[in-house]
A and B are shown apart, each in its own frame.
Chain A
Amino acid sequence: MTLTHFLDIALGRLDWNALPFWDAIQTPDTLHIVNAAIVTAAASLVVLGALAVVVLLTRHGKWKVLWSEWLTSVDHKRIGIMFIVIALVMLARAIIEAVFMRTQQAFGLDGGFLLAEHFGEFFTTHGTIMIFFMAMPFLTGVINYVMPLQIGARDLSFPVMNSVSLGLTAAGAAIVMVSLVLTPFSTGGWSGYPPFTESSFNPGAGVDYWIWAVTLSSIGSTMTGINFAVTIYKERAPGMHLFRMPLFCWTALCTSILMIFAMPPLTVATALLALDRYLDFHFFTQDLGGDMMNYVNMFWLFGHPEVYILILPAFGVFSEVFSTFSGKRLYGYTGLVIATMVIAVLSFTVWLHHFFTMGQSPNVNVVFGIATMLIGVPTGVKVYDWMLTMFRGRVRVTIPMVYALGFITLFVLGGLTGILLANPSIDYQVHNTLFLVAHFHNMLVPGLLFGMLAAYNMWFPKAFGFRLEERWGYRAAYAWIVGFILAFFPLYALGLLGMPRRTVSFVEPAYLPWTIIAGFGALVILFALFSLAMQLWLSLRQRHANRVPVGDPWDGRSLEWATPAPVPEYNFPVIPEVFSRDAFMREKDLGQAYQRPAEYRDITMPANSALGPILTATGFLMAFGLVWYLWWLVLLAGGVSIAALIARSFVRKTTRIISAAEVRETHEAWLRQVAETRAVKRDQERDTSNRGLPAAPVSGAVQ
């Protein structure tokens, strides 16, 4: 075997062209050099960032801690935190990409500074990351952390599978990050429509990166959905009937059901596209009987339920926020539950509105148009319920409330444009324009992202034992609201003026004022991102001043606030018994909070497992091998995955015991702390005297 032959097998189709600056060496004009500089800087950030993490871990000797307390941990709380860390890192990258795109369009009259290919990679990675590697991990992380605590469980039903879900999501995110260093990524948009993404038009590695990143994420999300649904059905504390669950758990349940049934169409669509590209199948090709409409149909069979996967948990968060910070029971609980279920079911009946203009008869369009408008009804019910929750409540405008108030206003506006788009004849006018881009950002930024940021501010003290810094927190929240308005409202106008989405440059001067305003809005959003970073940094520095060890800084209503902050691994020393909705508020009202349990018992917890990190590595390597045709790597990593799964099935000692004595010691120490802590009223909620013990309610009213 000659050396070249060996290299062919060892390196597949990986060659110098994969380097981000190679293009500029071949064609050294200004445009190419500018673009190469941007990509190379991004690639260096990825490499240097990874190196910095390695160096810091080594210098502080934290590798062992990382491995035994985080990576192999199957504790739902730690896995939830790791999901959110992935989401925040990916959020930063995708926002920076968005800023580049808006800046390009602000300078886009007759040119700009980005190559069309490069712009294509930007909008593809931005969309792919925001949906699959920001939104999904964020909401999965929040549900992971909060839901088991709210239903009074010790962990999810399948803790090791939870760790594997995290691993697959992380592997997918890593694939997207690696595509910055070994380029290119797909230019086919986050929806990856064939035949553009078929090998006849796109033979390179880009689309393959997209396919495997998305596939890893969708398999991970399916498993997450199964895990959450089974947990909610089977692990609730005694007395926690379904209709006593906090609303967030209901939205978690509906979201997980959507994940179980809506991720498969995506898996099928991407898998068949992969078969087309790798094995010369003809599912979606232009020739030999392929039909791209089958892809479009399947993609949106996933895609529409997906937007409700994203939005429902945020609805749940806002329900908790409105009732907690208004000091009132949630208004219209049953109505909200039914509305959530109706939305979940209806979300499976509207997917065609994503392709109204693709040639089916008006009858079909009308059916799906009406179904789409119907979703406005349960959503409207929710908005009224939230407003009535605040009505005559004692509203405290905390950071989560700023996000919530911004959400409720902006989301209604976005919803109205949705009703417009649900009408096929209007959709014909504005489809594929920036009007649509404005609409879905108007739903997902105030809806999903504000919801998740509100959740982050609300539950951070629970997870880490100290409140987040407030000044930069408020700045971030207001900058998000203002930045969103400036960045996206102009896009409605641009859409009506006829500017197509995903346009790198244009020749119509009338667009220019609007693109400049939108570009300015993007800078405000960049400031919001910066504020979030500052907030986190200052919070870490002020962590001693802002401690809330008792664990209930906001006078919360559900069971998670009945635990210390941070929460011990086993969550509850004794599984609580539930007698009503707002279970913890009832205890506080009756003066029965912070009781000493009659008896402590040994607690059985799931033991750590290396399966998650192993599958992270093999999943990443398999995907990477598939992208670059490194077949030896695919076989190797695949073999290791199967071997690891089989080996895991032979493990018989899957639990470990926490002794009653240890539980007693921890719990009694906390109870002593509770006894020593001064209770605060709500107007001291945001200063350092708040140690997480609220003053007891007086005849049901928060103090």
Chain B
Amino acid sequence: MTTPSRHPGLNLGRAHPEAHHACEGLVFGFWVFMMSDLIIFGLLFANYVTQLDALAGGPGPKDLFEMKSAFIETMLLLTSSFTYGMAAYCLKYRNGRGALLFWLVVTLALGLSFIGFELHDFRVTIDKGGAPSQSGFASAFFGLVPLHGLHVATACLWMIVLIVQMLVYGLDTGVKTGLVRLGLLWHFLDIVWIGIFSLVYLGGLA
């Protein structure tokens, strides 16, 4: 039978006694923070739904959204969740720092391209007359989706900081616990994105 889990996300386990111990409180705290953040997203989703018809004569979802870029963004983020999982796997089983670094850099690249596509998307939306000053609907869209993007950007910055720390200090407890928490954030952001592509993009284009 497998060992019971001490906290959400990947448990580092016996091979990393110090970090595993340090993780219990830290990861629980971070997970609580994620749940608090979840409420923020939940409310913005609810707000978005109530503003769906607040078009004020401006363009609606069918005029503004593009299926193709939403699809590309979804694939980028989903794959990055998988590659982060690979990184965490390498961390736990000590597959060498090179492998860990490789998966982290791949994840970072996917995250950054996601942000790139998203920024491009926002520009197109605004060019099509969907700027937030246009209507309640556009405001609700720009209140919800860019906040997710901002989270991804913060997570990318955090990843860069952790990579630098790894190069400076090696894989010490601080870096390990950081990577475990960043993993929670990364997977959490992908879950929020499921809501965004389903409700905002697919729901809007259906």
Contacts and interface: CB of A to CB of B under 8 A. Distances in A.
Interface of A: 157-158, 222, 225-227, 229-230, 233-235, 260-261, 263-265, 267-268, 272, 275-276, 279-283, 285, 287-291, 294, 298, 301, 646, 649-650, 652
B40 interface: yes
B198 interface: no
Interface string B29-47: 1001101110110011001
Interface string B157-169: 0000100010011
A264 B139 contact: no
A261 B54 CA distance: 28
Contacts of B36: 222, 225-226, 260-261, 263-264
B113 interface: no
A264 B28 contact: no
Interface of chain B, main secondary structure: helix
Q: Closest 7 CB pairs between A and B?
A: A289-B136, A289-B54, A280-B133, A264-B39, A281-B139, A289-B56, A288-B56
16 contacts: A158-B29, A222-B33, A226-B29, A230-B25, A261-B35, A264-B39, A268-B40, A280-B133, A282-B54, A282-B133, A283-B140, A288-B56, A288-B136, A291-B50, A294-B47, A652-B169
A235 B24 CA distance: 11
Most buried by A among B32, B35, B44: B32
B174 to A, nearest CB: 6
A291 B29 contact: no
Given A281-B142, A283-B143, A230 B54 contact: no
Nearest to A298: B43
Contact of B132 (A229, A263, A281, A650): A281
B79 interface: no
B129 interface: no
Given A264-B39, A289-B135, 13 more contacts: A230-B25, A234-B28, A267-B40, A272-B143, A275-B132, A281-B132, A281-B143, A282-B54, A282-B133, A283-B51, A283-B143, A287-B56, A294-B50
B178 interface: yes
A234 B25 contact: yes
Nearest to A293: B50
B28 A233 contact: yes
Given A234-B25, A289-B55, A289-B56, A281 B133 contact: yes
Contact of A289 (B137, B142, B169): B137
Nearest to A229: B32
B143 A649 contact: no
Contacts of A294: 47, 50-51
A287 B134 CA distance: 10
A114 B40 CA distance: 40
B18 interface: no
Contacts of A287: 56
A285 B133 CA distance: 11
B169 A264 contact: no
Contact of A283 (B25, B35, B136, B174): B136
Nearest to B132: A281
Contacts of B50: 291, 294
B172 interface: yes
Contact of B139 (A226, A229, A290): A290
Contact of B28 (A222, A230, A267, A272): A230
A234 B54 CA distance: 47
Contacts of B136: 282-283, 285, 288-291
B29 A649 contact: no
B23 to A, nearest CB: 11
Contacts of B25: 157, 230, 234-235
A288 B40 contact: no
A279 B51 contact: no
A316 B55 CA distance: 49
B51 A649 contact: no
Contacts of A260: 32, 35-36
Contacts of A298: 43, 47
A268 B43 contact: yes
Contacts of A652: 169, 172, 174
Contacts of B143: 272, 275, 281, 283
